[in-house]
Amino acid sequence: MIVGILLKNYFDVSVKNYPPTIQNGLENQAINAITELNYQFDINTFHDPEGFEFTYSANITDPDAQGWLNFDNKTRTFSGKPNNPICSEKNYTNIEVIAEDSCGHIISDFFDIQVTNEKPRINKNLINQRINSTGFQHGLILTTKQEHGTPPQSSCSETIAIKLTAIDDCNYQTEQFFDIIINKTNVTLSKELNDENYNVDELFSFSFDEDTFIDPREMGLTYSIKLSNGSETPDWIHFNSNDRTFFGTTEGCTDDIIIEIIAEDYCKVNASGEFHLQITNRKPQQSQHLKNQVCQESESFTLNFEQDLFIDPEQSEIDYEIGRSGNKQLPDWIKFDQESLSVSGVCEGDETSIDIDIIGYDDCRESGKASFNLKINLNEEESFSLFEGTMLYVSISIISLIVFSFLLLSVIFILKKKKKHNLRKNNNNKTITLEQYYKNKKNNQSFDRYTESEQEFDITSDSGL
């Protein structure tokens, strides 16, 4: 028989629940005094080793926070808008979040909420402003967002740097910069200047209108003058800039003077205009009449005239010269004495009528002309009768005939003597006619003898008749 023995032993099984831990700490929050808080902490902020879910709660100990801070344990979200006075800053500390697992183990963490009063932020950059330096009407405002103003009339071209400071009710501020650029406003010529015409040595005075030049600033213009080529005006041209008047007495000769007027404003901005001052020198005027002159051939003549034959309107000294109408040359025998103012000469019979000009020149070489005619009577030539003329003609004819006959006989004698010296016979003693001679001579043939009308010539190819 087998006998069995039963042995027993015991051990304890201990089931332990580990407490949860903080895996990711809570983050402190900072909000603006007028901003609503919306803070949801992460689901992994706390960790449970057994994987149990947590039940959350919040412990808000600060009485000021209790009035506005709310906690939704299902969404793990803190929300609310601070109700502390505007411009006050406050830190709400030690706000506790409690996580409890299903076994009643609890873990908690803390975070702070800082309520600040944030300074203003720049939402849009300011743009530089460009304006004219013209005087504005009273009450006219230039506006750019919050800034305004009117530049003074005396403002010239410049750039003004502006710092714009924005300050909130809590005395927090921020800054931004922009430029105000003041443009020059140009002076303009609104009217054309009138040309002026005067004679030499004439007193003149004239002015131009006040509104000839326009100044947008209405600060007043100052005026100056010069010649259009940049040089100074003549000393006899005077200008009063206060009443815009030119005055003086013209000098010189005929001229066209171009004067430039410059109008300048307070800011040294200018405009200019030009006009012509035409100066005319008048010609000398004849004050006396010249009488025509008559002289006999080979006899002298003289014409005297006074210094005041011509009067110069500008009262300058007159210089005299003589000439001939149509730019023809005067005969050499006609003389002019500048000192005695006389025209004289011994008349010659080449011409019977001569128009003589007396020309008076002033200091500017402007001239006047006075003319007179000189008539020349020719001397009478000796005459002879018709019979005497006929006899003279017959005598000349007889003499001419005798001379001609003598010359003709001399030529015949010389020719005959020359031909006899050149005669020689041909062996053939051939006789040809004169027509044959010229015909064969043309063909360069040689003949020795020609006989016709009982005249005999020896002919060779190298000699002529």
**pLDDT tens-place string over residues 213-256:** 999 878 889 999 999 999 999 999 999 999 999 999 999 899 99
Query: Is 204 part of a structural domain of the chain?
Result: yes
Q: Show Cβ contacts of residue 173 under 8 Å, excluding neighbours closer than 6 positions.
A: 119, 120, 165, 166, 167
Distance between CA atoms of 59 and 67, rounded to whole angstroms? 13
Full residue range of the structural domain in which residue 246 is found: 188-280
Query: Could you tell me if 235 and 296 lie in one domain?
Result: no
Query: Could you tell me if 67 and 105 lie in one domain?
Result: yes
Closest CA to 26 of 103, 99, 81: 99
Does the structure show a pLDDT above 70 at 147? no
Q: What is the pLDDT of residue 275?
A: 97
Three-state SS for 229? coil
| Residue 290, domain CATH | 2.60.40.10
Query: Could you tell me if 420 and 448 lie in one domain?
Result: yes
At 139, the pLDDT band (50, 70, 90 cuts) reads very low
SS3 content of the chain, % helix, strand, coil (to 5): 10, 40, 50
pLDDT digits (tens, 9 = 90+) for 304-327: 999 999 999 988 899 999 999 888
Of 29-43, 92-106, 163-177, 268-282, the one with minimum mean pLDDT is 163-177
Between the two ends of the chain, the Cα-to-Cα distance in Å is: 214
Closest CA to 182 of 214, 213, 149: 149
Q: What is the pLDDT of residue 442?
A: 52
pLDDT digits (tens, 9 = 90+) for 11-38: 666 667 788 999 999 999 998 877 899 9
Query: Could you tell me if 248 and 318 lie in one domain?
Result: no
**Within a 10 A sphere around the Cβ of 248, how many other Cβ atoms?**
17
Query: Is 244 part of a structural domain of the chain?
Result: yes
Q: What is the pLDDT of residue 148?
A: 55
Q: What is the pLDDT of residue 460?
A: 42
At 463, the pLDDT band (50, 70, 90 cuts) reads very low
Average pLDDT over residues 293-309: 95
Query: Is 392 part of a structural domain of the chain?
Result: no
Q: What is the pLDDT of residue 155?
A: 63
Query: Could you tell me if 109 and 133 lie in one domain?
Result: no
Query: Could you tell me if 410 and 339 lie in one domain?
Result: no
Share of the chain above pLDDT 90, in %: 49
Domain boundary among 260, 280, 300: 280
Q: What is the pLDDT of residue 451?
A: 44
Contacts 24+ apart (CB under 8 A), 179-183: 179/128, 179/129, 180/128, 180/129, 180/130, 180/131, 180/151, 181/128, 181/129, 181/130, 181/131, 182/131, 182/132, 182/133, 182/151, 182/155, 182/156, 182/157, 182/158, 183/130, 183/131, 183/132, 183/133, 183/157
Query: Is 140 part of a structural domain of the chain?
Result: yes
Q: What is the pLDDT of residue 366?
A: 93
Query: Could you tell me if 25 and 89 lie in one domain?
Result: yes
Query: Could you tell me if 299 and 369 lie in one domain?
Result: yes
8 A C-beta contact, residue 129 and residue 144: yes
- What's the structural domain count of the chain? 5
Q: What is the pLDDT of residue 389?
A: 55
At 63, the pLDDT band (50, 70, 90 cuts) reads confident
- Helix segments in 24-77, DSSP class H: 63-66
pLDDT digits (tens, 9 = 90+) for 353-410: 999 999 999 999 999 999 999 999 999 865 444 555 566 566 677 787 887 777 877 7
Identify the DSSP state of 435.
H
Query: Could you tell me if 177 and 196 lie in one domain?
Result: no
**Which of 176-185, 348-357, 437-446 tops mean pLDDT?**
348-357
Does the structure show a pLDDT above 60 at 168? yes
Q: What is the pLDDT of residue 167?
A: 85
Q: What is the pLDDT of residue 50?
A: 86
Three-state SS for 321? strand
Query: Could you tell me if 292 and 323 lie in one domain?
Result: yes
Closest CA to 50 of 73, 19, 72, 10: 19
Q: What is the pLDDT of residue 90?
A: 84
Distance between CA atoms of 237 and 125, rounded to whole angstroms? 59
Q: Which two tokens stand for residue 44?
A: 């992994």
Domain boundary among 259, 280, 301: 280
Q: What is the pLDDT of residue 178?
A: 85
Q: What is the pLDDT of residue 185?
A: 79
Sign of CA dihedral 310, 316, 322, 327: negative
Amino acid at 69: L
Q: What is the pLDDT of residue 169?
A: 74
pLDDT digits (tens, 9 = 90+) for 89-129: 888 889 999 999 988 899 999 999 998 877 788 888 888 88
Query: Which comes out higher in pLDDT, residue 420 or 7?
Result: 7
Q: Show Cβ contacts of residue 121 under 8 Å, excluding neighbours closer than 6 positions.
A: 174
Length of the chain: 465
What average pLDDT does the chain have? 81
pTM passes above 0.85: no
Sign of CA dihedral 416, 419, 421, 427: negative
In order of 27, 186, 277, 322, the CA distances from 197 in angstroms are: 97, 31, 6, 33
Does the structure show a pLDDT above 80 at 435? no
Query: Is 16 part of a structural domain of the chain?
Result: no
Query: Is 14 part of a structural domain of the chain?
Result: no
Distance between CA atoms of 222 and 139, rounded to whole angstroms? 29
Q: Which two tokens stand for residue 314?
A: 């500008």
Query: Is 87 part of a structural domain of the chain?
Result: yes
DSSP 105-134: -EEEEEEEEEEE-PPP---SPPPPEEEE-P
Q: What is the pLDDT of residue 384?
A: 47
Domain boundary among 66, 88, 116: 116
Q: Which two tokens stand for residue 332?
A: 């050499």
Q: What is the pLDDT of residue 439?
A: 56
Query: Is 263 part of a structural domain of the chain?
Result: yes
Does the structure show a pLDDT above 50 at 465? no
Average pLDDT over residues 75-88: 84
Query: Could you tell me if 155 and 169 lie in one domain?
Result: yes
Three-state SS for 152? coil
Distance between CA atoms of 142 and 130, rounded to whole angstroms? 11
As to burial, measured by CB atoms within 10 angstroms (0-12 exposed, 13-18 middle, 19+ buried), residue 65 is buried
Does the structure show a pLDDT above 80 at 65? yes
Query: Could you tell me if 192 and 167 lie in one domain?
Result: no
